[in-house]
């Protein structure tokens, strides 16, 4: 598999209190195999930690994995913090146990993509490729 931006950097974070990191690590793995440079930040991080790390690492996108049900609140916090830091050009996508009824609201708050347990690796990579292909790398 090749991507438009073979060296784009992506940060994968797990905000909040759930420690189920299998999904996050799976995403880290498939993004690596698709040619991305992936910074993994581990479990139980605050939105502040994730945003600060993303800025220091100068990533093109943040991927958030969340299985606790707090996605509406925590995804919003990450997006708001990015705005507050003048870093709203960093794309945010997310995934986890997310009810279909919440997805339109998440898009509205600025999530670039939302994946659920049915999403395939191919679909996720294709979406991330498409989202990042329009971004200008330095």
Partner 1 sequence: MNEDIVHLVCDVRQNPAENTRAAARLMSLLENHPARITELYAGLADWPEPLMVLGITGPPGAGKSTLVDQLIELYRKRHPLRRLGVIAVDPSSHASKGSVMGDRVRMMRHATDPHVFVRSLAARGHLGGLALGVRGVLRVMGLMQCELILIETVGVGQSEMEVAEFADMVAIVLAPGQGDGIQLLKSGLMETGDVFVVNKADRDGANQLQSQLLTTLNLRASVADAGAPPPVCMTSALGGDGMDGFLDLLEDHCARSADQWLTQRKQRFEQEVEQAVLQEAHRRLADMLRTSGIGSEGITRVLRGETTVNELATVLLQLGARGKPPYNEGHVDERRP
Give the binding site for partner 1 (CB under 8 A). 1, 6-7, 9, 28-29, 31-42, 45-46, 48-50, 52-53, 55-58, 85-87, 137-138
Q: Rounded to the nearest whole angstrom, what is the least distance from the CB of residue 37 to partner 1 in the complex?
A: 5
List the structure tokens of 80: 């708001």
Q: Rounded to the nearest whole angstrom, what is the least distance from the CB of residue 18 to partner 1 in the complex?
A: 16
Indicate the residue among 38 and 92 with the shorter CB distance to partner 1: 38
SS (H, E, C) 16-49: CCCCCCHHHHHHHHHHHHCCCEEEECCCCECHHH
Indicate the residue among 49 and 72 with the shorter CB distance to partner 1: 49
Indicate the residue among 39 and 103 with the shorter CB distance to partner 1: 39
Q: Rounded to the nearest whole angstrom, what is the least distance from the CB of residue 5 to partner 1 in the complex?
A: 10
Q: Rounded to the nearest whole angstrom, what is the least distance from the CB of residue 2 to partner 1 in the complex?
A: 9
Closest CA to 11 of 43, 51, 59: 59
Q: What is the gyration radius of the CA atoms in the chain, in angstroms?
A: 13
Measured CA to CA, the distance from residue 12 to residue 5 in angstroms comes to 17
Indicate the residue among 40 and 106 with the shorter CB distance to partner 1: 40
Closest CA to 50 of 87, 105, 25, 98: 87
């Amino acid at each position: 598999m090749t991507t438009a931006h073979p060296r784009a950097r992506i940060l994968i974070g797990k905000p909040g209190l759930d420690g189920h990191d299998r999904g996050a690590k799976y995403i880290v793995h498939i993004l690596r195999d698709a040619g991305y440079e992936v910074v993994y930040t581990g479990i139980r991080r605050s939105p502040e930690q994730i945003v600060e790390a993303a800025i220091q690492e100068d990533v093109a996108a943040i991927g958030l994995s969340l299985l606790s049900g707090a996605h509406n609140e925590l995804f919003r916090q990450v997006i708001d913090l990015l705005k507050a830091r003048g870093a709203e050009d960093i794309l945010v996508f997310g995934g986890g146990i997310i009810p279909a009824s919440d997805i339109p609201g998440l898009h509205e708050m600025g999530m670039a993509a939302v994946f659920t347990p049915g999403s395939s690796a191919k679909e996720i990579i294709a979406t991330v490729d498409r989202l990042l292909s329009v971004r200008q790398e330095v």
